[in-house]
Amino acid sequence: MPRDPDEPLDGAFRICMVCTGNICRSPMAEIVLRDLVEKAGLSDQVIVSSAGTGEWHVGEHADPRTVAALESHGFDGQQHRARQFDPDWFDSLDLVVALDRSHERVLRSWARSDDDRAKIRLLLSFDPEFAGRSDVPDPYYSDAAMFDSVLSMVEKASRGLFRQLEPAFHRSRLAL
């Protein structure tokens, strides 16, 4: 069972993946990144969550096509419940990852300080293969093949994000 992102865990690095309704792209990114964290044995140091900029789907499961795409890639998306990003979360988050520029704009408008704005990054910025491309496409109005394509893109960029973060967590373990 995934850890509740609001559950206190002293010293943990907190990441929130953000899309529009928190039923397609951001749950994919949350589940993929959490899987990387768990496989690396870093669950005690990194908490991954997700949210949407809008409230339309709060409390709902992930889109069935999201769940199907995740399952076809070996991930479990059954437990996901959508929620809306709360600007107060900036205080407890270390990194806020937007899935496209519209989410980034909304998050920046909600940020209360330069420190908050400095926490916001686009997911595709973590993988040089996507240089010049900033948006993970929204598959919501498309077919199952688009969900698979988006998940592949999310997996690749999430691995890039994890590769950038992982050395810092291993160094902090050595310091203990």
Q: For the chain, give every domain's residue range.
A: 15-164
CA distance 55 to 75: 25
Q: Specify the pLDDT at position 131.
A: 75
Where in the sequence numbering do the catalytic residues fall? 19, 25, 138
- Select the more confidently predicted residue: 172 or 100: 100
* Of residues 80, 84, 10, 25, the one with CA closest to residue 52: 84
Strand 120-122 versus strand 95-98 pairing type: parallel
- Binning pLDDT at 50, 70 and 90, where does residue 81 land? very high
- Binning pLDDT at 50, 70 and 90, where does residue 130 land? confident
In this structure, the number of other CB atoms found within 10 A of the CB of residue 90 comes to 21
The pLDDT > 70 percentage for the chain reads: 90
Q: Specify the pLDDT at position 11.
A: 84
Strand 46-52 versus strand 95-98 pairing type: unpaired
The pLDDT tens digits of the residues spanning 138-171 come to 999 999 999 999 999 999 999 999 999 988 886 6
Does pTM top 0.85 for this prediction?
Answer: yes
Q: Specify the pLDDT at position 128.
A: 87
Q: Specify the pLDDT at position 173.
A: 55
15-164 under CATH 3.30.310.50, yes or no = no
- Binning pLDDT at 50, 70 and 90, where does residue 172 land? low
CA distance 103 to 19: 6
SS (H, E, C) 34-88: HHHHHHCCCCCCEEEEEEECCCCCCCCCCCHHHHHHHHHCCCCCCCCCCCECCHH
